[in-house]
Amino acid sequence: MDVNESRPEPFAGEIVSGTTWSESTLGAIDEKDEHQNEYDVGGVDVEEASPTRRSPRPLRRTRSLDNIAPGNAEEKKYMVSFRMPHPSNPNPESSYNANRGRTNAASDARSDASTTDYNFVLDNYIEYADNTPIPRLRGKAERNKLLAAIHSSHWAVLCTIVTGGCFLTYAMVRHSPFLRADLSQAIVITIVIATFPEIAASSGAGAFAGMASDVAIPNFAWLALLALVTSAIWMLFHRFKILVGCGGRLGTCAFIAMNLTVALVAMPSGAVPWSLYGDSNRLWSGRIELVPSILSVLSSTFLSAAAGAVRLKSEIPLNPVAPSTTIALVCMLVLEPTGFVYTGQMDAGFAVGSFVGMASDQYLPTIPDFAGAGFISGLW
C-alpha cells in the first residue's frame, strides 16, 4: 500500500481519498475491453481482469500505515467498502446496470435486494509503551457504544477485561477441567486476541494475576479484591506508559497487585499464613532435577526465539502479546495429549518464554537477543 504519485492511475491495493482500490480476483485495474466485467466497490468501479490480461504489479511492502499518507498514523482512518452479491444472484451484472442507470426502478429494487454492502475501517491502535502504531481492520462501530468503547480502549472496558481475565483463569485452574495455570492463561489471552486485539494486554494482566495459587487466594471473594487491585495498577501502567514492552509490564503489574493484596490485607486478617513468604524450616530443602530443568530451559529458549522471529520478520507491526501467546498455546496443546512425564515443566518453560517474547524489540532487536533472554529467564 505504498502510493506512487508518478503513476497516472491508482493500482491494486492503493488508498485514494479514503477509498481502497482492489483487484477483484485476478488482476489490477487497467483499460477496459470486451472480456472484462465491472463491479461497484465502495463507490469505485473496479474491473475483474480476463485470463488474457497481464499479471498485476506486485504491491510494495510497508511496515506501517505511516506510508499510506502523511500525518499521524494512529489518527488516520480509511473506509474500505465493497458490495457482495448474494448467492441467489451471483451475477453482479444487475448491480452494474443499476449503478449505471440502465434499468428501471423495479430492476433497481431487485439489485438492492441481491447485494449487501460491507464497510470496514482501516486504522491503527496504540499498544506498545513506546506508542508504536499497530494496524487493524475492524467493522464500523459508530452506532454501537460498546464496540466503540472497546476500540478506543476506554478505562471501564480495560478494568472489565482485567477482572474477566483474572476470574476466567482462576476458575479454569480451580474448577473443572482443572487445567494448569500456564495453559489457562494462554487460552484466555488467545480468545481475547482473536476478537479484540487492542485489549489483549489488559486480558493478560488479569490472566497473570489469576494464576495465583489457592493458598494465596483461597476463594473468589479474595480473587475479587485481587482483580480490583490489579485493575487499578494496570490503569496506572496503561495511563503513564510504565515500562517498555508487554511481558514485563504484565508480570510486574500482577506481581505488585498480588503482594499488595496478600501482604496488606489477606495475611493481617489471618486468611493467608505468613509462612507463605518462606518457612525457615523448609527453605532450600528442595532439590533440582536435571532432566526437567533442562527441558524447561530449552522450552523457554525456543519459545522466546520463535516469538521474536515472528515479530521481527513480520512486514507490519504485530501486537506483542499475540505471537508469543499463540505459539505457546499451540505448543502446550500439542504436548498435552502425549502424556509426557515432564509436560508440566515444559509448559512452564513455554509460558516463561512467551512472557519474554512480549518484550520490546528496542531492547531485544535480534532473534539471538530474544533467545538469550529466554535462556536466562529459563535458568532463573
* Beta carbons within 8 Å of 243's beta carbon, 6+ residues apart: 129, 237, 249, 252
pLDDT digit string, tens, across residues 137-158: 887 766 788 888 998 889 999 9
- Please report the beta strands in the chain, taking only residues with DSSP state E, as ranges in sequence order: 15-16, 19-20, 37-41, 44-48, 78-85, 115-126, 133-139
**Could you tell me if 258 and 213 are in contact, meaning their C-beta atoms sit under 8 angstroms apart?**
no
Displacement of CA 10 from its chain's centroid (Å)? 31
Q: Using N-to-C axis directions, what is the helix angle for 290-313 and 367-379, rounded to 10°? A: 150
Q: Which residues of the chain have pLDDT under 70?
A: 1-118, 127-130, 141-142, 283-286
Joined together, the cell numbers standing for residue 91 give 451475477
First to last CA, the chain: 44
| Conformational region of residue 22, where left means phi above 0, alpha means psi within -120 to 50, and beta covers everything else | beta
**What's the confidence (pLDDT) of residue 76?**
61
Task: Name the one residue in this structure whose C-alpha cell is 495498577.
Answer: 233
Give the Cα-Cα-Cα angle 343, 345, 348 (nearest 5 degrees).
Answer: 105
Distance CA 91, CA 161 (A): 44
**What's the confidence (pLDDT) of residue 238?**
87
Distance CA 110, CA 86 (A): 11
Tell me the longest C-alpha to C-alpha distance in the chain.
Answer: 91
Phi, psi (degrees; rounded to nearest 5) at 45: -75, 120
* Beta carbons within 8 Å of 7's beta carbon, 6+ residues apart: none
Distance (Å) of CA 114 to CA 82, 105, 145, 155, 285: 14, 14, 30, 42, 74
* Residue closest to 308 by CA, chosen among 378, 349, 360: 360
- Tell me, what DSSP letter sits at residue 121? E
Number of other CB atoms surrounding residue 81 within 10 Å = 17
Three-state SS at 57:
coil
